[in-house]
Amino acid sequence: MAGVAFHSTELLIIFLAVSSFVVNCCPPSDRAALSAFKSALHEPYIGIFNSWTGNDCCHNWYGVSCDLETHQVAEITLRGKSEDPIFQRAHRTGYMTGFISSAVCKLPHLSSLTLTDWEGISGEIPPCITSLPFLRILDLTGNKISGEIPRDIGKLHRLSVLNIADNYVSGPIPGSIGNLSSLMHLDVRNNRISGPIPACFGRLHMLSRALLSGNQISGTIPSSISRVYRLTDLDLSTNQISGPIPASLGKMPDLSTLNLDFNRLSGVIPASLLTSGVNNLNLSKTSLEGKIPDAFGPKSYFMVLDLSYNKLSGPIPRTLSGTSYIGYLDLSHNNLCGKIPAGSPFDHLDASSFESNKCLCGKPLLNAC
C-alpha cells in the first residue's frame, strides 16, 4: 500500500508541474497569431526570429512580452536599430521585408506594437488594428509602410503613442483622431499625408507633442489647437499650410517649440508669439508680411528665432535688445530697413543673420548707415 501511495504522490507532483507549465504558457491562439505574424516578415541577417520556437511564447521569444497574470501576449518590440547583443554579434543594423499581417489583431491583450527602423517593411497598417482595445503604443517608424491611417483609429481610446514617421503613408488625417483621449505623442513626420488638420485636434487634451512636418498637409492652422493646453512641441513645417497664424497659439501655457517654416502662410507675425513661452520659433520661408512686432521684453527667451526668407518690412524692433536671451537669430532675406541696433544679442551675430534685406545698415554688415 505504501508503494501505491508513493506512486500516486509522484503522479500528482508530475501532474501539478505539467499543469503549472501549461498555465504559464501563452495560449495556443496567441502562439498561432505570432507564427502568422512572423510568416509575413523576412529578416535575413540578425536572426531575431530564431528564438520563436516551442510552445511557450511568453519566455525567450525575442521581443515578445506577456502579461504576468493572464500570460497573454502584451507587447511586441522589434527594433531594427538596437544595442542588443544580437545586433552587436551581427555587426550591423537590421533589415526586414514583408508586411504586417492582420494576424496581429488576434492578440486581444496586445498593448504595444513597436516595429521600427527595419527600412523594408511595406504594405498597409492593418485596419483591424483598431479592434485591439488595450493598445497603448503603435510605433512603426522607419519603414516603407503605405496606405492610409485607419479611418476609425479613434476607437483606440487607450492609445498614448502613435508614431508612423518616415514611411509612405498617404491620405488624410482621419477625423476620428479627435477621439484619442489618451494620446500624448503623435509623430507622422516625413510621409505623404494630405488634406487639412481636422478641427477636432483641439479635443486631444493629453497631447504634448504633435510632429506633422514633411507632408502635404494643406488648409489653415485650426485655432482649436490652442485648446491643447499640454502641448509643448508643435511642428507643422514643410507642408502646404496657408492662411494666418492664429494669435491664440501665443497664449498656450506650455508651448515651447513652434516650427511653421516652409509653408504658404500669409498675414503678419502675431505679437503674442514673441511674448509667450515659445523659445524655439521658426517662421522662415512662409511669406509673412508686415513689421516685426515691437513686443519683445525681459521675459522673451529664444534658443532659436528664425524669421528669414519672408516679406517682413520696417525696422528691427528696438525691444529686441531687451530680451533675456537669443541664441540664434536669423532675419535675412526680408525687406527690413534701418540701422541694426547695438548691444546684445546683435553683438554676437554675424552678417549672415541680416543679409539680403532692403536697406539694413550698420554692424555686422559692411555697409555703414
Q: How confident is the model at residue 14 (pLDDT cuts 50, 70, 90)?
A: very low
pLDDT at 9 over 90: no
CB 170 within 8 A of CB 194: yes
Report how far Cα 110 is from the mean position of its chain's Cα atoms: 21
CB 273 within 8 A of CB 258: yes
Tens digits of per-residue pLDDT, 66-99?
Answer: 999 999 999 999 999 998 888 888 888 999 999 9
| 175 burial level (CB within 10 Å; 0-12, 13-18, 19+) | middle
Sign of CA dihedral 232, 236, 237, 242: negative
Please give the domain boundaries of the chain with CATH numbers for all domains. 288-369 (3.80.10.10)
Out of 19-33, 211-225, 254-268, pick the least confident: 19-33
Q: How confident is the model at residue 195 (pLDDT cuts 50, 70, 90)?
A: very high
Q: How confident is the model at residue 348 (pLDDT cuts 50, 70, 90)?
A: confident
Hey, what's the cell of 338? Answer: 534701418
Tens digits of per-residue pLDDT, 250-284?
Answer: 999 999 999 999 999 999 999 999 999 999 999 99
Hey, what's the cell of 6? Answer: 508513493
Tens digits of per-residue pLDDT, 125-146?
Answer: 999 999 999 999 999 999 999 9
d(C-alpha 336, C-alpha 361), whole Å: 10
pLDDT at 24 over 80: no
Q: What is the mean pLDDT of residues 15-38?
A: 73
